[in-house]
Amino acid sequence: MIKVVPFIYEDLDDLYANTYVLIDNQNNCVVVDPAKDYLGLVNYIEKQQLSLKAILLTHGHVDHIRGVDVLVEHFLAPVYIGFFEVDKLSDPYLNCSALLAKPFKSKAKPITVAENDVISLLNEPIIVIDTPYHTSGSVCFYLKESQILLTGDFLLEHTVGRADLPSAQPKKLKSSMAKIMALPSATRIYPGHGKSSTLLEEQKLNPFVK
């Protein structure tokens, strides 16, 4: 089974963003959506004697990518992101950092992923699910055996992410949500903001699932 360790960061404009470290039983790990560019996450990985295998990005907004370069510099880990998100890494307008008057450009040279790709870095495969809506290339990362779903800003607790930022595709919500809701209802979601939930809970309480 995979262990999920959350890190919650107060980001720009009091925005709280979630970063997750997924750890297998051999102390291999991946980091999902590194929100902050400071050494706390580096120190945690080193103190726990973890082997960082990759950085996984659900999408390319600044509050999910600002820590990428620090991790790459320290661990030389590869970066995985949806194909249509690549330009956001180095474009302050597309990654929305320009809107916050603090332009950010990542130097990362990512590996692109798409629907049904399998990332085999831990002792359990990570399946990519394309979920365009919040952005054009948003993806979720699914670990079937552990019933874990990393949803970024697509699916949040009892709501969904906003759809008024550059590259948003609000008309894709229904089709993307249908794919997620086809997964087992016991699957636990780990969103980019807010608390964890389950698909069963979202089916009951999330108006965007109806």
Using one digit for the tens of pLDDT, what is the confidence trace for 151-160?
999 999 999 9
168 φ/ψ angles, rounded to the nearest 5 degrees: -60, 145
Closest CA to 32 of 138, 161, 167: 138
Of the candidate CATH numbers 3.40.50.720, 3.60.15.10, 3.40.50.300, 3.20.20.70, the domain formed by 3-205 belongs to 3.60.15.10
* Per-residue model confidence as pLDDT tens digits over 189-206: 999 999 999 999 999 999
Q: What is the mean pLDDT of the chain?
A: 95
Alpha carbons 42 and 50: distance in angstroms, whole number: 10
Asked whether the beta carbons of 135 and 161 are under 8 A apart, the reply is: no
Domain spans, the chain: 3-205
- pLDDT at residue 39, as a whole number: 83
188-202 burial: b if 16+ Cβ within 10 Å, else e: bbbbbbeebbbbeeb
pLDDT under 70: residue ranges of the chain: 10-15
- pLDDT at residue 132, as a whole number: 99
Residue with tokens 């295998």: 53
- pLDDT at residue 14, as a whole number: 52
- pLDDT at residue 11, as a whole number: 54
* Per-residue model confidence as pLDDT tens digits over 168-191: 999 999 999 999 999 999 999 999
